[in-house]
Structure 1
Amino acid sequence: MTLTFTLDPVVDPALRDGILDLWADVSNAGGSVGFVPPVTREAIRPELVKHFAAMTEGRTRLLVGHDADGRVAATAFFTFNTHRLMTHWVWLYTVMVHPRHQGKGYGRDLLAAAEDAARGFDGIRAIRLTCRGGEGLERFYGSCGYKEVGRIPGAIRVADDDFRDDVILLLPLD
């Protein structure tokens, strides 16, 4: 069983709710996607609305993976860099695979689909993403071809006394 990926899907209530469920489930399972557990769909909703607004403005694109049951199982948002000297690379945000699908290779599939999509974007020569240090994510992204190009120590506060590095990774597309 594999995921079916769609770039720029139609945003309807089912997709919106599927992404909210995915984001909450990933966050509450300890995933590093902008929240710390416990988090509710309602707490996530404003952030998703920001993503959708950026999509409407053409600044962001969505890649979504559906499982065999048609449920949203994975996402990645591309955000185009607007700085005139940096429009040749794109950010990859909110990279998620549902916890029920962990260990099936779907994270690699999602990143491969993201790479394929980015190769089709005009003038894009690299994908940049960040991850929260201390989770082992650098090793996973490294195994998918991303190289660590920077690290900001203690930039992410997940609790009053728990600071994590913000790790910057790059995948050249050349």
Structure 2
Amino acid sequence: MNVRFDLDPSLTPELRDGICALWAEVSNAGGAVGFVPPVTREDVRPELLKHLTAMAEGRQRLVAGRDADGRVVATAFLTTNTHRLMKHWLWVYTVMVHPDLQGQGTGRRLMASVADAARSVKGITALRLTCRGGSGARPFYEACGYQEVGRVPGAIRLADDDYRDDITMWLDLG
């Protein structure tokens, strides 16, 4: 499928609603994006509003992928650091690809667009993200050039008897 990726697209109601719908669909398909299924768009909306607020305040940027019909099918948020010793790298949050497109290269193209967006920011030399152990995300990010640089065992609790590692990944943009 042909997906067009844009950095900092205009935040229209359609884009906002599209991200919210994508987030719920990815979550309900088992995606590790901050929720445990089942979730609704209304469950996701408060978290999305936090991202949108950070964007409005200039602390966060959006890479959005849309299909030929304009439907949001992929996203990632880039967040700046406020710590004076860590302003040379960006956080990557809420990486999502529509479940129907997973395994078709859309995720790799999204991550390449994220890296390109980061390279366009003066002084940025690396990207950092975290992923949930046991989700299959670590091998995906490794295939995109990231390396595992840290792990906190059992830091994520999905249920009373289901604890997952919180894995930190790093991409040197040099």
- SS of the residue 2:17 aligns to: helix
> Per-residue deviation at 1:122?
1.5
What is the aligned partner in structure 1 of residue 11 from structure 2? 11
Tell me the amino acid that sits aligned with residue 2 of structure 1: N
What is the aligned partner in structure 1 of residue 119 from structure 2? 119
Cα distance in structure 1, aligned partners of 2:165 and 2:2: 33
Identity %: 67
What is the aligned partner in structure 1 of residue 157 from structure 2? 157
Q: Show the 5 A alignment for 1:1-174.
A: 1-174=1-174
- SS of the residue 1:92 aligns to: strand
> Per-residue deviation at 1:131?
0.2
- SS of the residue 1:118 aligns to: helix
Instruction: Render the CA deviation track for 1:135-172: whole Å, top value 9, x for unaligned.
Output: 12111110110000000000001111111000000000
> Per-residue deviation at 1:12?
1.2
> What's the RMSD between the two structures over aligned residues?
0.7
> Per-residue deviation at 1:102?
1.3
Unaligned runs of 5+ in 1: none
Cα distance in structure 1, aligned partners of 2:103 and 2:145: 18
Q: How many aligned residue pairs are there?
A: 174
Cα distance in structure 2, aligned partners of 1:169 and 1:104: 22
Cα distance in structure 1, aligned partners of 2:32 and 2:112: 20
Displacement over 2 Å in runs of 4+: none
Tell me the amino acid that sits aligned with residue 122 of structure 1: K
Unaligned runs of 5+ in 2: none
> Per-residue deviation at 1:2?
2.1
- SS of the residue 1:96 aligns to: strand
- SS of the residue 1:35 aligns to: coil
Instruction: Render the CA deviation track for 1:16-71: whole Å, top value 9, x for unaligned.
Output: 11001100000000000000100110011011001000001110000000012210
> Per-residue deviation at 1:15?
0.4
Compute the TM-score of the two structures, normalised by the length of structure 2: 0.98
Cα distance in structure 2, aligned partners of 1:145 and 1:102: 18
